[in-house]
Amino acid sequence: MKDQTAVPFVDTNIIPDRNVGIGSLLWDLQNPQHPNRNEPPLLNSRFAFIDVGVSRARVSTALKTLLASDLKMDVDYIATERVEAVPYANVTLLGDRAEQIRGCLSGTFSSKGATCEVKDWHFVVDLEGKVSSVAYSYHLHGNEVWEAYFMGRTFMYSGEPVEFSDPKLNEMLAPDVKKLEARIDLERKREGDPSQPAPSWEGYRVQRNPLEAGLAEFGITLQKTDVPQRIKGRQNVLFLGNVLNHYPQAEQARELERIAANMEEGDIGIVQVDEVEASSIEVLHVKGQGAQKTRERVRRVASSESVWRSRAWAR
Ligand SMILES: C[S@@+](CC[C@H](N)C(=O)[O-])C[C@H]1O[C@@H](n2cnc3c(N)ncnc32)[C@H](O)[C@@H]1O
């Protein structure tokens, strides 16, 4: 392992619109302060950046703007998401009822002493036409933070399954979820058979295909896959921003192996993990080919107060 970089460490969830940590890390890889004799920089001036697991378009579009416009990097920016996690629609409820639910969300997520005033919220409809979560935003240290309330589903946090469900909130949401799913169902039936009645969307604002549309506005193509395809003719940087935390600890090394399967010699992997106890960014460099392929850990940035829990990601 080489020097640890002095890249400012930034949590993507806390400052979603400016992931400066990754921007300055890439800059540092292209312009090393103390280049080893005769060794080229680890990152070429021209590269493809594959942002793995983009649950929201805005995180990626902001990072692309930072790299391509602010830092003037010659980057081909691609995003990936698991097919089943790509939303069918975001649906915003309008009127008094939306205000009531906003109040209930604020109450649910405010803990003793800390108020979390929900500013904005919407339903997220999945591929199957079901409401999978409620996305809500609040302000934290002057930043807009978005989080998801999964409708009773388990999600992975710091490698552990967590199920957070609030009966009062579920009860509040239930009639609207039912109405909304019925409308989506009608809409889908009509897609297959135009003689079917069209649902009325009065009282709602519907944004269809929000992830793909939001990315396309910034020229980012979405690969709907859990094993990213490699971009030919350029060095590839595979960026896993809070993706491995989705998997139980014991499966993380194997999952990285799978996600990075198409990467080739000279490519770079960046693994960012924002956890309460141990946040870190690791840079891995792919060496060798085929069965000889290995990943060498070339940088590690860890939040200073945390005790670094070493993991077998580099092999
Ligand atoms: C916690 S979110 C992180 C979002 C964003 N990268 C960030 O740092 O804010 C993790 C996302 O990774 C996705 N994901 C998990 N495994 C994946 C895989 N193998 N390929 C693509 N996406 C994946 C999940 O569906 C989820 O949307």
- Would you say residue 220 has pLDDT above 90? yes
pLDDT given for residue 255 in this prediction: 95
Specify the higher pLDDT residue, 206 or 315: 206
Nearest ligand 1 atom to the CA of 51 is: 6
Least confident of 5-9, 68-72, 165-169, 277-281: 5-9
Q: pLDDT > 70: what percent of the chain?
A: 83
Enumerate the domain spans of the chain: 20-85+214-302, 89-208
pLDDT given for residue 154 in this prediction: 67
pLDDT tens-digit series, residues 1-60? 333 333 333 334 434 444 557 888 899 899 987 666 667 899 999 999 999 999 889 889
203: left (phi over 0), alpha (psi -120 to 50) or beta: left
* Selection from 315, 314, 286, 290 nearest residue 300 by Cα: 314
pLDDT given for residue 221 in this prediction: 97
**What value does the mean pLDDT take over residues 200-226?**
96
Given a contact cutoff of 8 angstroms between Cβ atoms, the answer to whether 156 and 248 are in contact is yes
Helical H runs in 80-199? 96-109, 167-192
pLDDT given for residue 315 in this prediction: 41
pLDDT given for residue 165 in this prediction: 83
Specify the higher pLDDT residue, 232 or 276: 232
pLDDT given for residue 36 in this prediction: 64
Return the best residue to mutate from 11, 147, 243, 276 for the ligand 1 pocket (most ligand atoms within 8 A of CB): 243
| Separation in Å, CA 168 to CA 148, 202, 307 | 17, 26, 38
User: What's 20-85+214-302's CATH class?
Assistant: alpha beta
Least confident of 129-143, 148-162, 197-211: 148-162
pLDDT given for residue 1 in this prediction: 30
Specify the higher pLDDT residue, 54 or 301: 54
pLDDT given for residue 259 in this prediction: 97
Q: Provide the 10 A C-beta neighbour count for residue 33.
A: 8
Specify the residue with its C-alpha closest to ligand 1, atom 12: 53
- Would you say residue 152 has pLDDT above 60? yes
Mean pLDDT of the chain: 84
Nearest ligand 1 atom to the CA of 255 is: 19
Which 3 state secondary structure label does DSSP give 48? strand
**What value does the mean pLDDT take over residues 228-243?**
96
Amino acid at residue number 73: M
Cα(53) to ligand 1 centroid in Å equals 3
CB of residue 87 inside a 6 A radius of ligand 1? no
Given a contact cutoff of 8 angstroms between Cβ atoms, the answer to whether 80 and 86 are in contact is no
Cα(244) to ligand 1 centroid in Å equals 8
- Would you say residue 312 has pLDDT above 80? no
Is residue 289 very low, low, confident or very high in pLDDT (cuts 50, 70, 90)? confident
Model pTM score: 0.86
Axis crossing angle, helix 167-192 with helix 96-109, rounded to the nearest 10 = 130
Q: pLDDT > 90: what percent of the chain?
A: 57
Specify the residue with its C-alpha closest to ligand 1, atom 6: 241
CB of residue 85 inside a 6 A radius of ligand 1? yes
pLDDT tens-digit series, residues 98-138? 999 999 999 988 876 677 899 999 999 999 999 999 999 88
